[in-house]
Structure 1
Amino acid sequence: MVSEVLLFSYALLLGAVGIQIKDLRVPSVVRNNSGSAALLDCDYTLKPEELAAHSYAGLVVKWYFNSSPSPVYQWIPGQKPQDLGILKGKLDLKHRSSDHGATMYRALYIRNPTTELSGEYKCLVSTFDDEDFMTKKMVVFAPEKSLEFTTSKPAIDSVNLTCRARGVYPEPKMALFKDPDRMIVDDVQVETLSRQRSYDIVATKLMPDDDLDTPTVFACELRIPEASYEVTKSVVYYPGMFNQPNDSGDLRCHSHFWASLVTSLLIAYGCCC
């Protein structure tokens, strides 16, 4: 008897449930200005009687971006979908998620998303009697426009390592390592400069030659934690006074050394004559 009462109560509860968002499918990471679209789909259900009425009275689908109180998208069955705010002109308003009159324009189809569209997206579905919402984050990341890793010698017995990246989004991290043992270089000075919708970052470290093998391979790792993105660049350093390879493998020479050498040869040649 008790079990029958529980089953009956559960059936009543299910019948009372109105709108339910079953799933909010939002890509967690997309690449900036890649030419590909991003589909954000809000999959919901209505009461059987609401679906059977074919009028869907009071049904409204709205999308919000970050903490803005105003929607960036709105669709009411029987009317054309509207792109608003930051999404104005950036949506394919003809995209259909289904052929059903209650759900066909429920999704956002963002053409070629860029970094300013990185953030929290909330789907809110409501009728006269009920509403439901769900929120998820989408990160639009921009890989580095350039990544340079170079060595220079401020003194005979030391080397200055400089790794620099430009045009990264969102905020990146950078670290230096000694390969092949992948030993992290301690006390690296890292500076990050925020620009409009991008970051520049530079890591520098001065190291004495006495602590290094010949040759020594250094690696610079650039990471974007929110996008699970990383890239590495390496240089080979030969401790010594004059010849130092840069990141492309060319030899960098000290001009004063060669000038002194040429002068010495000319003097010696002149003396011999």
Structure 2
Amino acid sequence: MLQRSIVFFIVIAWIQTGGLCLPIREEEEPVVIELQNEEMQPTVLDCDYTLNDTDSFLTVKWFRDDKTIYQWIRGSPPAPIPDYKNDIDSSYESSTDPNKRYSSLALINPTIDTTGDYKCVVQTGTETITIHQRVQVIDVRNYTLNLYHNKIHNETQLECKVSNVFPKPTLTITSNDEDVVKVVTNDPQENEDGYFNATTVVAVYDNDDDADSYQCVVSFKGYSKNLTTTETSSSDGSLIDFKLYRLGWFLCYLLAIQIAIF
């Protein structure tokens, strides 16, 4: 019985250390690309590996969402897949080491479609190394963000709307005195271009006459920057809204015209 247990643990240890030639899986930190209007520098994904077998053939392949996008065979020029030739700088040299010269992936001309799960697979005659990396694109270059409100007795209804952002956003409305008590959030909707529009509504019950500040925060998973907009109420509880202010002036203008006519 003791001998069987020893054999069992030896087999388990052998498997865990790659005794069955299983692929080695390594994880890298996610890469965030924020799209800009000006020309952007390439985003380089490194395929960091150490080879035990340097004598046989060496092939490095990159995949995005399990689709091959780039391949390099040691001794040959690197070759992006034709459908991705405008997305990858195949001339980028990541190292002077002949075993790693074109192993990295240099992403150029990024769009929201650049987002995905990337995988670098290194193969020799005796080993396979797999490295996974997540790339997340953020595009807030042409977004709109508005916070609307309507005062009804002691309840204020706040509606925050954001449009034309990527990826899927999370909206949060807060107040300086924690009066937000009820939240209705709709799932973000994806438009035909792949961007998202989202809305969230809250009810605020304010029983004092102090001025209050309300803020809508738009955040994205894995991204440290937020989009924000703020509205402030006056001391008598009425909310300051430039659009309503402008509407009031327009109504006064119409009234003045009517008086002049009659």
Using the size of structure 1 for normalisation, the TM-score is 0.71
What are the superposed Cα offsets for residues 100-151 of structure 1, whole Å, 9 maximum, x if unpaired?
A: 2211000001114221111111111111222111212111111262333343
Q: 1:158 to 1:75 in 2, by over 3 A?
A: same
2:95 pairs with 82, 86, 98, which one?
98
Aligned partner of 2:252 in structure 1 is: 258
- Cα deviation digits, residues 46-67 of structure 1 (max 9, x gap): 23xx54xxxx532100111113
Give unmatched runs, 5+ long, in structure 2.
1-16
Equivalence for 2:116 = 119
Residues 57, 125 of structure 2: 8 Å contact kept: yes
Structure 1 vs Structure 2 CA RMSD: 3.9
Retained in 2: the 8 A contact 1:192–1:202? yes
Instruction: State the partner residue of 2:81.
Output: 84
Structure 1 equivalent of residue 66 of structure 2: 67
The alpha carbon displacement at 1:23 in A equals: 6.8
User: Deviation at 1:198?
Assistant: 1.3
Identity of aligned residues (%): 21
Between 104-113 and 76-85, the greater mean CA deviation after superposition: 76-85
Work out whether residues 244 and 252 of structure 1, in 8 Å CA contact, stay in contact via their aligned partners in 2. Answer: no
> CA separation in 1, counterparts of 2:154 and 2:253?
21
1:203 aligns with 2:200: yes
Q: Check conservation: 1:150, 1:246, Cα contact below 8 A.
A: no
Match of 2:41? Answer: 36
Q: Spell out the pairing of 1:100-179 with structure 2 (5 A cutoff).
A: 100-143=97-140, 145-153=142-150, 159-179=156-176
Task: Pick the structure with greater CA Rg.
Answer: 1
The code of the aligned residue for 1:166 comes to: S
Structure-1 separation of matches of 2:181 and 2:42 = 40
Q: Secondary structure at the match of 1:226?
A: coil
Distance 2:84 2:28 in 1: 18
> Is contact 2:24-2:130 (8 Å) kept?
yes
Following TM superposition, by how much is the alpha carbon of 1:36 offset from its aligned partner in structure 2, in angstroms?
Answer: 2.8
Q: Name stretches of at least 5 consecutive residues in structure 1 with no aligned partner.
A: 1-13
The count of corresponding residues between Structure 1 and Structure 2 is: 241
